């Protein structure tokens, strides 16, 4: 694949054994299959290989949800529940609540001096997101979220950030800011690299390019099987196919794209052949998909039921992770202030 972003430092994974990675999500609601296919599944694998830090970015969530801060607590819990159910192991991964580490905000402020507004305005990811959300005016916080994301990465001295291609401009920006910091202040912050490995985005049930809670076209990991069945039934297929014997085009079918993301190779090939040759109806094809999704989510539901009975355990995991992360963050901020020669005294 050709990358348009200059200097995007993409890590060669084989060279990076036992390094630290940082990933995260905004807690704006429960996670869906798009999160699972796009990143969560990958993180479950990465945690065996890397020291993994996962940030629940509640301050970043405020950049788009500032009208409802009161929902953050519940959403943090739901996201953590989804992580743990999907196989994030708290012994291998450190889960962190962003707002409980004020050092991140401090570093964001220092970094904000090192970047001018124009590259943020022209950042393609910011532009697309603002357009998708219909923002005419951008808040200072929204425009600056890649800067705070840079602080998230730098404060924990992460080497690698697993991202999708659309997030590459943010990593490029992070490298630029860190480089400038290091040059100006003789700092020793780590210039992070992108670890491209995450799968492309899952399309929505309505055929929209992105599965997203805000578009109401998502299957949540926590949905019950009845509603998943109903959602799958409602999903957009090849509109030109009326009868099961009509020859279909799987490439424009939402259901087929989900088969590609979640089914075994055999079923994917069979589905493609049967659809193209009018040998399977969409109803049956959807039933097949439902079974696949059900067997993916069933083991997760077992974990979910356990943690829902033991909610305190979820919070304990979050607080323990945050506490561990805080030690690193306060060390980093001391080093940062020291290199800037503004460490007057530790009170």
- Residues within the interface to ligand TRP (CB under 6 A): 22-26, 55, 57, 60, 149, 152-153, 161
Report, in Å, the least distance between residue 182 CB and ligand TRP: 19
Of 20 and 26, CB closest to ligand TRP = 26
Of 60 and 99, CB closest to ligand TRP = 60
Report, in Å, the least distance between residue 8 CB and ligand TRP: 15
Of 164 and 207, CB closest to ligand TRP = 164
Contacting residues for 291 by C-beta, under 8 A, at least 6 apart: none
Of 53 and 256, CB closest to ligand TRP = 53
Report, in Å, the least distance between residue 136 CB and ligand TRP: 21
Report, in Å, the least distance between residue 2 CB and ligand TRP: 24
Report, in Å, the least distance between residue 22 CB and ligand TRP: 5
Report, in Å, the least distance between residue 143 CB and ligand TRP: 14
Annotate the chain with three-state secondary structure: CCCCCCCCCECCHHHCCCCEEEEEECCCCCCEHHHHHHHHHHHHHHCCCCEEEEEECHHHHHHHHCCCHHHHHHHHHHHHHHHHHHCCCCCCEEEEEHHHCHHHHHHHHHHHCCCCHHHHHCCHHHHHHHHHCCCCCCCHHHHCHHHHHHHHHHHCCCCEEEECHHHHHHHHHHHHHHHHHHHHHCCCCCCCEEEECCCCCCCCCCCCCCCCHHHCCCCECCCCHHHHHHHHHHCCCCCCCCCCCCCCCHHHCHHHHHHHHHCCHHHHHHHHHHHHCCCCCHHHHHHHHHHHHHHHHHHHHHHHHHHHHCHHHHHHHHHHHHHHHHHHHHHHHHHHHHHHCCCCCCC
Of 104 and 253, CB closest to ligand TRP = 104
Of 179 and 229, CB closest to ligand TRP = 179
Of 200 and 299, CB closest to ligand TRP = 200
Report, in Å, the least distance between residue 308 CB and ligand TRP: 24
Report, in Å, the least distance between residue 206 CB and ligand TRP: 21
With CA atoms as reference, report the closest residue to 34 among 42, 185, 149: 42
Of 150 and 274, CB closest to ligand TRP = 150
Report, in Å, the least distance between residue 11 CB and ligand TRP: 14
Of 142 and 258, CB closest to ligand TRP = 142
The span from the CA of 170 to the CA of 125, in Å, is 8
Bridge partner residues of 152 (DSSP): none
Cβ neighbours of 50 (radius 10 Å) = 24
């Amino acid at each position: 694949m050709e990358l348009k972003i200059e200097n995007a430092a993409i890590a060669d994974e084989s060279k990076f054994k036992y390094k630290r990675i940082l990933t995260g999500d905004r807690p704006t609601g429960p996670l869906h299959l798009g999160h699972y296919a796009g990143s969560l599944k990958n993180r479950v694998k990465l945690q065996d290989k890397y020291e993994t830090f996962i940030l629940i970015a509640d301050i970043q969530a405020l950049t788009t949800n500032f009208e409802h801060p009161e929902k953050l607590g519940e959403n943090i819990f739901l996201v953590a529940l989804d992580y743990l159910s999907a196989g994030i192991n708290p012994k291998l991964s450190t889960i962190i609540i962003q707002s409980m580490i004020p050092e991140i905000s401090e570093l964001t402020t220092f970094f904000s001096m090192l970047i001018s507004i124009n590259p943020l305005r022209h950042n393609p990811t910011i532009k697309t997101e603002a357009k998708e959300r219909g923002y005419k005016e951008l808040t200072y916080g929204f425009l600056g979220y890649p800067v705070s994301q840079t602080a998230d990465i730098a404060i924990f001295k992460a080497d690698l950030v697993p991202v999708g291609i659309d997030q590459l401009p943010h990593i490029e920006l992070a490298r630029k800011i860190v480089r400038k910091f290091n040059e100006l202040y003789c700092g020793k912050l780590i210039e992070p690299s992108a670890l491209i490995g995450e799968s492309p985005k899952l399309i929505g049930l309505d055929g929209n390019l992105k599965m997203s809670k805000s578009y109401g076209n998502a299957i949540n990991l926590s949905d019950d099987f009845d509603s998943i069945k109903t959602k799958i039934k409602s999903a957009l297929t090849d509109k030109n196919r009326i009868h099961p014997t009509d020859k279909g085009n799987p490439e424009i079918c939402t259901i087929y794209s989900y088969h590609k993301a979640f089914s075994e190779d055999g079923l994917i090939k069979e589905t493609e052949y049967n659809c193209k040759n009018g040998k399977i109806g969409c109803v049956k094809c959807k039933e097949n998909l439902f079974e696949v999704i059900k067997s993916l989510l069933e083991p997760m539901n077992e974990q979910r039921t356990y943690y829902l009975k033991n909610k305190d355990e979820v919070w304990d995991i979050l607080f323990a992770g945050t506490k561990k992360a805080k030690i690193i963050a306060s060390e980093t901020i001391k080093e940062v202030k020291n290199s800037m020669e503004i460490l007057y005294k530790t009170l």
